[in-house]
Structure 1
Amino acid sequence: MAQLKKDITLLSGIGQLSTTLLGTGLFMIPAIAAGIAGQLSLWAWLILFIAICPIALTFAQLGKHFPNAGGTAYFVRKAFNSKLERSVAWLFVSVIPVGVPAAVALAAGFLQQILPSPINSSLAAQLITVALLIAVNLMGTKSSGRLQTAIALSIFTLVAALLWKGGVSAQDIQMPVLNTESIWPISAALGVMFWCFVGIEAFAHMGEEFKNPKRDFPIAIVIGCFVAGATYWACSVVILKFSAYGSPAFDSASIPWLSDLLFGPQFATVISVLGFSACFASVNLYTQSLSRMVWAQAREHRPNGAIAQVSQRGVPANATLAVGAVLIFSCVVGELSGLDLEFFLKLANGIFVLVYLLAMLAAYKLLSGLNKALAALSLVLCTLVFVCLGWSMLYAVSIFSLLSLPWEKWLKRRQQPVA
């Protein structure tokens, strides 16, 4: 049976997860959250980080005990059955039409600023981004991990420079007073902010490729989440201080605007390159995880098929190309339809929170002792976040309900000859 290559070390794992969690989120979510909740967004970040800790620790235990490229779908199969596994797998794939085009479009927005005039259109930049994603993925996880670690260090340097140049003081990090009227804006902000911590479930697909998954996978998740949470909070402090938010166009350009204000226009190209790299790193892990999920499903159900094969580099090449084709189609459709980033993010968040919820449900059944109690707490937290999503959770529920219908039984019944 084809096997993936074990190339991921602890350092590269931390680099991959932290860049994935920061990626597209850092360049728009702090500003969107500030527009929703103002100074209260600082509390929202703190609440979100506290809530994500038990969820991250539960994923760490799942990945430690059950490392598999199938990720959450595999955990669900171990806990329940293969039918539910397939539903979860395709639920994860269903994020492509709503989540990936928005992320690729944001990355392409930075790339577009540095491309020469004949090819600097939005669609061309998106297609180039997808082509680069496919190329990097085909190179293998070792090369990809090194690239994302370098990008992570660049992001931390940028945020540290913004804090220093922005003259952030103790007064700027004072938390606002909470009251009963704070509940609604904080809840509304959380519905968008959860996007910043989607990536843990995608990272679960990489567990099989760690050199030492039982030791390194849990540590990579914990450290990666802590680093990302601290970076988001620090970035939000700077955005709030300079009021770098207020409109959809401004929200997605808040970091470039701050950089221009604090460092001058001569840094515009550097920010564009870094912005593209950060967004690219985030989408890169999702491309990896989607291809591995497709490969894992093929390995389980059609082990001799083309999708179930791996290249000499230990990469599911055919699955990667298939995912790349879907990404190209989704980007074209997304560009033609006109993207509203906040709207698409809310729909994608519904999918991710439901996947998290199902993973925690599986963890509650699979784990024991303290880990089982942690899974129970995580299940409650995921349910609360799901409620915070409001109307956008209907997309996830609708997709999952459709996927859970007995399509195979109905198809077999239709194919049976009539007596």
Structure 2
Amino acid sequence: MFLLFQQLFASVANEWSLFAWLIMGLLILPIVFTFAALGKKHPHAGGTAYFVQVAFGDKVARIVSWLFIWVVALGAPVIVVTASNFLVNGLTAIGVIEQASAQSLFLCAILMLFLLMLFNVFGLKTAAIIQTILSVCIVSCLVFVSLNSQITQPFHLPSTEFQVSKLALSATYILWCFLGIEAIAHLANDFKNPHRDFPLTIIIGIVITLIVYSLISLSLLQMHYYGNETENLNSVINLVKLSLGQHGYTIVSFAGFLTCYISVSLYFVGFSRLLSSMAKQQQIAPIFARINVYNVPYYGLLTAILLTMLMLVAYHYSGLDLEGLIAYANGLFILIYLAGALAGVKLLIGINQGLAILASVTCVILFLSLAEHALFAVALLFLLSIYYRLKSKREARLLFCLCSIQ
């Protein structure tokens, strides 16, 4: 997703987005170390939802699970649109499509959803290692073309007025490049000397990420390859075309499509497993726990496909933009991280508890930075809270009636 968000950072804050990278690199540290400490003290495959359950009970954990579901509903269409744009560009480059258009982008997105359903319902999941290899190749290519553009092209950055609100919003978009970092919670015990090596590994990894992404950001700012949504979607491959020509443009287009395709496929697999787990815990309808002969929770998969398709139709026909979808999903992600950080405040002690407090403050600041885009997350959180409050009262009344009968 870096291939899309890199341009959004520039669009929001221009040259100040480089400063936003540094800020986010510092802010992410207490969040990472908090999840690592939680994973070490409470190892469990449930991750964030489990930490929240231990700290605050089943009802709050269920709300966090539902926030994850809505993240998928908002985030998957962004990846699908990005993948479809790469595919359209690649097909246009080899002459299969005469000219890229919004209609061709929409049709490719629907086709991609059909292929995702077809392959995943039969359990034909693409290995995550392929995604890793493709991502490494693409990022390496981008580093090369970035250095090449900075050496061979006139270097001039746009000059814009500093605005705290735009800098903060840019930082929340940058958070997407670190999403999934909570999985680090499962790795803390894999180090021979975790107290020394684990923090060092995290810091080195984040520094490398900041250097690589900032370098690419610098080239996009230099060439002014950003602006409206169309320019944002095409800016990275235009940067590749500048240095590697038409063949490089074509290769990166198809490689970008494959990377996004695998990402959203894994997204849907994880989503269907989450629904299956919730069904087994009687949090949602039992039907979502059903699996087919290929061990696939097909109702969850079909739900993910349907939700994504509805969002794509809304995006195509109602004037929604990707930036809005990303901001809404960001609000949900930050709430999930805030719940995990608050769980850390309650469950951890000593310096780890201090880091959890700092992580909680960081999440609150990032959430407020979303401004009006945070309202969707607030509304969803309010509705879920009301639903589970009413459900608890109904269950209490039912229990009282049963006791009275007895």
> Do the structures match in fold with TM over 0.5?
yes
* 2:105 pairs with 1:109: no
Flag the 1:167–1:104 CA change in 2: closer, same or farther, 3 A: same
Does the CA contact (< 8 Å) of 1:151 and 1:281 recur in 2? no
User: Does residue 112 of structure 2 align to residue 125 of structure 1?
Assistant: no
* 1:158 equivalent among 127, 136, 141: 141
Give the letter for the 2:147 counterpart: W
Q: Which residue of 2 aligns with 1:63?
A: 39
Q: Which residue is 2:190 aligned to?
A: 215
Q: Distance in 2 between the 1:32 and 1:94 partners?
A: 22
Whether 1:197 and 2:173 are equivalent positions in the alignment is: no
Quick one: which of 199, 212, 221 aligns to 1:231?
Answer: 212
* Alignment match of 1:372 (pick from 353, 357, 360): 353
Q: CA distance change for structure 1 residues 136 and 64 in 2, over 3 Å: closer, same or farther? A: farther
2:88 and 2:108 in contact (8 A); partners too: yes
Query: How many positions carry a matched residue from both structures?
Result: 383
Distance change >3 Å, CA 302–CA 323, structure 1 → 2: same
Residue number in structure 2 paired with 1:144: 127
Partner of 1:80: 56
1:277 matched residue in structure 2: 258
Structure 1 residues 39 and 376, CA gap change in structure 2 (3 angstroms)? same
Aligned pairs for 1:223-372 (under 5 A) are 225=206, 227-301=208-282, 305=286, 307-308=288-289, 316=297, 319-372=300-353
1:381: how far off? 0.9
Does the 8 Å contact 2:314/2:320 carry over to 1? no
- Of residues 76, 81, 86, the one that matches 1:100 is 76
Taking the aligned partners of 2:354 and 2:121, their CA distance within structure 1 comes to: 37
Residue 372 of structure 2 corresponds to residue 391 of structure 1? yes
Secondary structure of the corresponding residue to residue 166 of structure 2: helix
- Asked if 2 retains the 8 angstrom alpha-carbon contact of 1:137 and 1:284, the reply is no
Task: Report if the CA contact (8 A) 1:159-1:235 is conserved.
Answer: yes
Cα distance in 2 for partners of 1:229, 1:133 equals 32
The whole-number CA distance in structure 1 between the counterparts of 2:202 and 2:318 is 36
Per-residue deviation at 1:304?
11
Contact 1:364–1:375 (Cα < 8 Å) also in 2: yes
Q: Please say if residues 91 and 403 of structure 1, whose CA atoms lie closer than 8 Å, have aligned partners that are also in contact.
A: no
Given residue 125 of structure 1, which amino acid in structure 2 is its aligned partner?
C
289-298 vs 247-256, which moves further: 289-298
Cα deviation digits, residues 108-130 of structure 1 (max 9, x gap): 11123345459983333223333
1:304–1:198 distance in 2 versus 1, CA, 3 Å: closer
* Cα offset, 1:236, TM superposition: 0.4
Alignment of 1:9-28 (within 5 A): 24=1, 26-28=2-4
Is the 8 Å Cα contact of residues 104 and 129 (structure 1) preserved in structure 2?
A: yes
Q: CA deviation at 1:149?
A: 1.7
| Preserved contact between residue 128 and residue 262 of structure 2 (Cα < 8 Å) | no
Match of 1:14 in 2: none
8 Å CA contact 1:69, 1:292 repeated in 2? no
Q: Which amino acid aligns with 1:256?
A: I
Return the offset for 1:41: 1.2
Deviations 1:175-223 (A, max 9, x none): x99x9x453432232233333323335x47x95xxxx773179799777
Contact 2:172–2:366 (CA under 8 A) maintained in structure 1: yes
Alignment of 1:171-190 (within 5 A): 181=162, 183-190=164-171
Alpha-carbon RMSD across the aligned residues, in angstroms, is: 3.8
Q: Relative to 1, partners in 2 of residues 1:334 and 1:133: Cα closer, same or farther, differing over 3 Å?
A: same
Gaps of 5+ in 1: 1-23
Contact in 2 for aligned 1:137/1:288 (Cα 8 Å): no
Instruction: Please report how far the alpha carbon of residue 42 of structure 1 lies from its aligned counterpart in structure 2 after TM superposition.
Output: 0.9
Q: Is the 8 A contact 1:108 1:276 kept in 2?
A: yes
Structure-1 separation of matches of 2:33 and 2:341: 11
- Aligned match of 1:31: 7
283-292 or 365-374: bigger deviation: 283-292
Question: Helix, strand or coil: the match of 1:121?
Answer: helix
Say which is worse superposed, 331-340 or 267-276, in terms of deviation.
331-340
**Map of 1:11 onto structure 2:** none
Which of the two has higher C-alpha Rg? 2
Distance 1:312 1:266, change over 3 A: same
| Cα distance between partner residues in 1 of 2:148 and 2:266 | 31
Instruction: Give how far 1:161 is off.
Output: 1.6
Does structure 1 residue 46 correspond to structure 2 residue 22?
yes
Residue 364 of structure 2 aligns to a residue in which SS? Answer: helix
